[in-house]
Amino acid sequence: MNSPIYLAADVLSQGFFSGIYKTTIALLLELAKRHQVILYSAQGVPPHFLQIPNVSYATLPELNKAPLLPNSVCLLPCNGLFSLNETTRYFSLYRFYGKCAIVSIIYDTIYDVFQVPTVDSHYWVQESVRVANAIITPSLCSTQDLNKYYQVGDVEVHTVYLGTTIQPQPRNPGNAFVYIGGFNYRKGVDILIKSLIHLLHQNRNVMVKLVGHTPDANLMNLINLAQATGLAEFIEIVDEKGLAELYSVSKALVYPSLYEGFGLPVLEAMRCKCPVIACNTSSIPEVGGSHILYAKPKDEVDLANKILAIENGKIDVEQLTQDAYKHSLQFDWTKTGLEYTRILNKAGESTFT
Report the alpha-carbon distance of residue 348 to residue 353 in Å, rounded.
9
Domains and CATH numbers, the chain: 5-162+332-350 (3.40.50.2000), 176-328 (3.40.50.2000)
Report the alpha-carbon distance of residue 43 to residue 244 in Å, rounded.
30
* Number of residues written out for the chain: 353
Report the alpha-carbon distance of residue 245 to residue 201 in Å, rounded.
31
Report the alpha-carbon distance of residue 302 to residue 101 in Å, rounded.
48
- Confidence label for 19 from pLDDT (cuts 50, 70 and 90): confident
Please enumerate in sequence order all residues whose Cβ is within 8 A of that of 115, keeping only pairs 6 or more positions apart, or say none.
none
| pTM score of the predicted model | 0.94
**What are the pLDDT digits (tens) for 282-295?**
999 999 999 999 99
Q: Is 282 exposed, middle or buried (0-12, 13-18, 19+ CB in 10 A)?
A: buried
pLDDT (0 to 100) of residue 79: 67
pLDDT (0 to 100) of residue 121: 75
Judge whether 70 and 53 are in contact, CB under 8 Å: no
Instruction: Name the nearest CA neighbour of 268 among 164, 145, 342.
Output: 164
Judge whether 208 and 196 are in contact, CB under 8 Å: yes
pLDDT (0 to 100) of residue 274: 98
Residue of higher predicted confidence among 140 and 238: 140
The pLDDT of 75-95, averaged and rounded, is 77
Instruction: Name the nearest CA neighbour of 178 among 239, 254, 231.
Output: 254
User: Using CA of residue 233, residue 222, residue 15, residue 102, what is the dihedral sign?
Assistant: positive
Q: Give the DSSP letter string of 36-102.
A: -EEEE-SS---GGGGGSTTEEEE-HHHHHHSPPPTT-EEEEEESTTSSS-HHHHHHHHHHHTTTSEE
Strand, coil or helix: 119: helix
**What are the pLDDT digits (tens) for 293-309?**
999 999 999 999 999 99
Strand, coil or helix: 105: strand
**What are the pLDDT digits (tens) for 156-205?**
999 999 999 999 999 999 999 999 998 887 899 999 999 999 999 998 99
> What is the percent of the chain where pLDDT is above 90?
65
- Confidence label for 352 from pLDDT (cuts 50, 70 and 90): low
Mean pLDDT of the chain: 90
Q: Give the DSSP letter string of 319-339.
A: HHHHHHHHHHTTS-HHHHHHH
Residue of higher predicted confidence among 228 and 140: 140
- Confidence label for 149 from pLDDT (cuts 50, 70 and 90): very high
Q: What are phi and psi of 351, to 5 degrees?
A: -65, -50
**What are the pLDDT digits (tens) for 228-272?**
888 999 888 788 899 999 999 999 999 999 999 999 999 999 999
Please enumerate in sequence order all residues whose Cβ is within 8 A of that of 94, keeping only pairs 6 or more positions apart, or say none.
none
Please enumerate in sequence order all residues whose Cβ is within 8 A of that of 322, keeping only pairs 6 or more positions apart, or say none.
273
pLDDT (0 to 100) of residue 81: 44
| Lowest pLDDT segment from 17-21, 316-320, 329-333 | 17-21
Strand, coil or helix: 277: strand
Query: Which amino acid, residue 272?
Result: C
> What is the percent of the chain where pLDDT is above 70?
95
